[in-house]
A and B are shown apart, each in its own frame.
Chain A
Amino acid sequence: MKAFAQLFLSLDETNKTNEKVKILKDYFNTVPDTDKMHMLALFSGRKPKRQINSTLVRNWAIEASKIPAWLFEESYHVVGDLAETMALLMPQNRGSSHKTLTEWIAEINALGTKTEEEKKLWLMDSWAMLDSSERFVFNKLLTGSFRVGVSQSLVIKALADITGIEAPALTHRIMGSWMPETYTYEQLVQEQSASDDISRPYPFFLAYPIQETSEKQKSTDELKIDLGEEGQWQAEWKWDGIRSQLIKRGGEIFIWSRGEDLATDKFPELHPFLQALPDGTVIDGELLSFQNGQPMPFNVLQTRIGRKNLSKKILEESPVAVIAYDCLEYKGEDIRHKTQAERRVILEGLQAATPFPEMFRLSALIQFTTWEELGKTREQSRAMIAEGIMLKRKNAAYQVGRKRGDWWKWKIDPLSVDAVMIYAQKGHGRRADLYTDYTFAVWDGDKLVPFAKAYSGLTDAEINKVDYFVKRNTLEKFGPVRTVKPELVFEIGFEGINKSTRHKSGIALRFPRILRWRLDKPKEEADTIESLRALLGE
């Protein structure tokens, strides 16, 4: 654990990419292989299962810190991270421990069967044996809130340097549902074939935005300069659903979402079509809810994502279907090296053969001869329930991760309204102890009704100014939330708007964020609830 805690400290101590890679390599070179795999699991988002519920952990931490519960809560708002708060508040450790990361995780996993009393005893003893930096990472493991300030691609780069295996291959090998307890380092670095793990998805190829910000529109001339001849490109709608990979191998089916979550059971309506695919097929596409053959906005899909049990009603009224746009494996062969155009032909062949065309849909190609023409088509995106247009180079291979050059997204401009900030709350992580999370309101007659929360969009300097304002213009405090004098006006952008019964305002926004601070506008000139309702388009 000492090495793992030190890894965290060292990574925190530099902002330089090369330095981070070096630190990661040093770590890999010093720890046992089992620790390497646990670290890889944690750094690629595979959290250990939570064995003690976080309320208990919190209560025991308060007990160990010997401070009142309210002061613990206040401290948490200052620190902005629960694991760190607990680590800082506890008294100095009494002893020290030489257990490895693997050993600690094994102990944590063994807790599942223990009584509450045994858990408490174990936890209090463990805290007493760890210094404050070890305690921090230990608490992170325990509370399952593991987020690291280093991208997976850096970890892969370090590992690639050490093993001599190329980064894309390594990225592929750590995809899917492996467990650090059973997947060994030896297996990871050995020559592998697709049959090793039939559930394993491929790393997704992700597009870059063609225009950096929505404020700076690219003209069609600029597009021509950036992308060249229209004929080299294939255009599709950019669907707003769940990016997924659908796999049929060895008679089994798997559905992966982009977050690398295995979601096969969540979409039973897709199983028949997947079963009907030939073995050794992997399809890349977007999952969307449909009604009467029409795609529905994302919020329809959203209401069923979190559900354990899918009601018959949902399955009948708004079943999910895939809009397929790529084929990555065909007849058991990895075809990512083939061109976009070649893969498209294969995909179309597969789709033509399906007995379930309602479930297995093709992402239609948009015909266009000039960029100008495509720009006009893009304006219809909202009506198509799309976020804009995707551009894919016809002779490009399917690559790993977010790469510039061959896949571009050309999103439509967000919708926007001017709104007044009325509540503020402190942020987390890098924004700890700063008021960075705001609630915005629009006018309903002479009242302000809250309609959206937004966290992002301001620069650090602007955040400091808003924080300064909040601290001096607080009207009331409700726990961590402050009611703020309504004065500051911001332009709020969002991708979509829908009716909602859950929100006071009766509407729900998709991806709300701050576009800019309207220093030029007094609060009286903010928008009204009517102007939001008008955007519902009903």
Chain B
Amino acid sequence: MAKKPLLEFTDKGIYCATGKFYIDPWKPVDDAVITHAHADHAYLGHKRYLAHHFSREVLLYRLGEINLQTVEYGEKVMKNGVEVSLFPAGHVIGSAQVRVEYKGEVCVVSGDYKVEDDGISTPFEPVRCHHFISECTFGMPVYQWKPQADVFADVNSWWRSNVEHNLATVIVGYSLGKAQRILQNLDLSIGNVYTHGVIENTNEALRRNGIKLNPTIRITQDMPKEEVRKGIILAPPSSVGTPWMRKFNPYSFGYCSGWMAIRGAKRRRAADRGFVLSDHADWDGLISAIDATGCESVYLTHGYTATFTRYLNEIGFDAHEVHTLYGDDEGINSVPEEEPTPHPIISKANGFEKSEAQVLSFGEDLGEAKKEVKI
């Protein structure tokens, strides 16, 4: 390709020079197309935002009063002669792949995605393209997910057994995506679902967006603990080991993440139960998704990029490794566990008090967690 590429990787993010817009930029820009509302993809400080309808309320809740345009999947938006459209990525509710077309050349940026239908996010749809920019968070063959029905059968029987043994049940997952996926797949004949404030705020934002979620009860100070113990408690990772969680003692605590596939990672988390449940594609999922695009070349942004790129080249793809700030180069096991600094929310977000909004710490929802640290 002698001509200027349609998309380029800059120090602010993925940039379309012809269309004068960025995709998921991590530094303030004029025009940002956002794949999904997780904090490492949707940063504060851009002049204009474009995202899917279902991301609307969550983005407003998280980022405050931003200049936000939302669209339907497949709807076309023109930016300086470049056609931009969103397609379902199946990662979380409202997550999208960004399709960019100019003079017959098509690029797709995957954002984060999974190929399995989780029953709540619009399922992933492969998009034909010339250039596919893909994540590969779990781009190692040791990551192979079981169907979610199997995982939730385990979750529900664990919950049931906890109720029998008079243990509270605390299940931990990220507040946007994992929490709703768990909520929609629980066996509600066992008991009620109680939520941590951070998760309930996200649920409320999604409900305002017209998403139908199973009933939940926000946990409050004066709630009788004995009642809560009979149900299941949905909690964000930031609550692990806090006094908030300890007050449910005795409890069993389950952690839902793709990293739970490895014993070592599970032991580090010190969870009672590790459920292998990810909102990212597994090894086979990544390869089948890339293959389905029919792309000429594929660019790997975050995850096990070096290994995955080498393998793809060996099996006949034209694959390239790219450095971005979406997580690190080798996945998340490296994430520092220390408390992240609060996201700088300045304005009131949709009627929530500032202090409450600040509970949502930066990085808390970074997919499988990604945080910047300074050494």
A interface, CB within 8 angstroms of B:
12-15, 65, 67-68, 70-71, 74-75, 78-81, 84-85, 88-89, 149, 428-435, 460-461, 464-465, 467-469, 471-472, 488
Contact = CB atoms under 8 A, between A and B. Distances in A.
A407 B264 CA distance: 35
Dominant secondary structure at the B interface: loop
A469 B265 CA distance: 19
B232 to A, nearest CB: 17
B334 A471 contact: yes
B263 A461 contact: no
Contacts of B375: 465, 468-469, 488
A158 B307 CA distance: 45
Contacts of B331: 433
B264 A80 contact: yes
Contacts of B150: none
Nearest to A433: B333
Given A149-B267, A431-B264, A464-B373, 5 more contacts: A78-B140, A88-B261, A430-B268, A433-B334, A461-B336
Interface string B253-283: 0000000011111111010111000000000
From A70, A71, A78, A431, name the one whose CB has the most chain B CB atoms within 10 angstroms.
Answer: A78
Given A89-B142, A430-B264, A465 B373 contact: yes
B328 A85 contact: no
A84 B334 contact: no
Interface string B328-364: 1111011111100000000000000000000000000
A469 B334 CA distance: 10
Interface in B215-271: 261-268, 270
18 contacts: A12-B263, A12-B266, A13-B272, A68-B311, A71-B311, A84-B262, A84-B263, A88-B141, A428-B264, A431-B264, A433-B331, A433-B334, A460-B268, A460-B337, A461-B337, A464-B335, A468-B373, A471-B334
Given A15-B272, A65-B141, A74 B266 contact: no
Contacts of A431: 264, 268
Given A15-B270, A71-B141, A460-B268, A434 B261 contact: no
Nearest to B330: A471
B164 interface: no
A75 B328 contact: no
A472 B327 CA distance: 12
Contacts of A13: 272-274
Dominant secondary structure at the A interface: helix
Contacts of A65: 141
A468 B336 contact: yes
Contacts of B267: 12, 149, 429-430
A466 to B, nearest CB: 8
Contacts of A467: 333-334
A17 B310 CA distance: 45
Closest 9 CB pairs of A and B: A432-B264, A464-B336, A88-B142, A467-B334, A430-B267, A433-B333, A74-B307, A75-B142, A80-B264
Contacts of A85: 142
Interface in B123-156: 140-142, 144
A182 B318 CA distance: 60
B264 A468 contact: no
A461 B338 contact: yes
B263 A81 contact: yes
Interface of B: 140-142, 144, 261-268, 270, 272-274, 304, 307, 310-311, 314, 328-331, 333-338, 373, 375
Given A15-B270, A71-B141, A74-B140, A79 B262 contact: yes
A81 B263 CA distance: 9
A143 to B, nearest CB: 15
Contact of B264 (A14, A433, A465): A433
Contacts of B262: 78-80, 84, 88, 432-433
A87 to B, nearest CB: 9
A421 B210 CA distance: 54
A355 B336 CA distance: 63
Nearest to A19: B272
A234 B208 CA distance: 75
Nearest to B315: A68
Contacts of B338: 461, 464
Given A81-B263, A149-B267, A464 B337 contact: yes
B336 A465 contact: yes
Contacts of B273: 13
B328 A471 contact: yes
Nearest to B266: A12
A6 B337 CA distance: 31
A131 to B, nearest CB: 11
Contacts of A465: 336, 373, 375
A471 B329 contact: yes
From B140, B264, B265, B307, name the one whose CB has the most chain A CB atoms within 10 angstroms.
Answer: B264
A433 to B, nearest CB: 5
A13 B273 CA distance: 5
A71 B270 contact: no
B140 A434 contact: no
B142 A78 contact: yes
A80 B310 CA distance: 21
Given A467-B334, A469-B375, A67 B264 contact: no
A428 B338 CA distance: 22
B264 A79 contact: yes
Contacts of B314: 68
Contacts of A67: 141
A432 B334 CA distance: 10
Nearest to B314: A68
A523 to B, nearest CB: 13
A79 B261 CA distance: 9
A433 B311 CA distance: 19
Nearest to A85: B142
Contact of A79 (B142, B274, B328, B336): B142
Nearest to A15: B270
B307 A71 contact: yes
B336 A429 contact: no
Contacts of A472: 328-329
A433 B329 CA distance: 12
Given A71-B311, A75-B141, A471-B329, A464 B266 contact: no
Contacts of B264: 79-81, 428-433
B263 A468 contact: no
A336 B163 CA distance: 48
A209 to B, nearest CB: 25
Nearest to A487: B375
B313 to A, nearest CB: 12
B334 A434 contact: yes
Contacts of A74: 140, 304, 307
Contacts of B265: 432-433
Given A15-B270, A432-B264, A468 B334 contact: yes
B250 to A, nearest CB: 9
Contacts of A88: 141-142, 144, 261-262
A67 B314 CA distance: 11
A487 to B, nearest CB: 9
A89 B282 CA distance: 13
Nearest to B336: A464
Contacts of B336: 461, 464-465, 468
Contacts of A488: 375
A464 B144 contact: no
From B141, B265, B304, B328, name the one whose CB has the most chain A CB atoms within 10 angstroms.
Answer: B141
B140 A14 contact: no
Contacts of B270: 15
Contacts of A435: 334
A429 B330 CA distance: 18
Nearest to A473: B375
A115 to B, nearest CB: 31
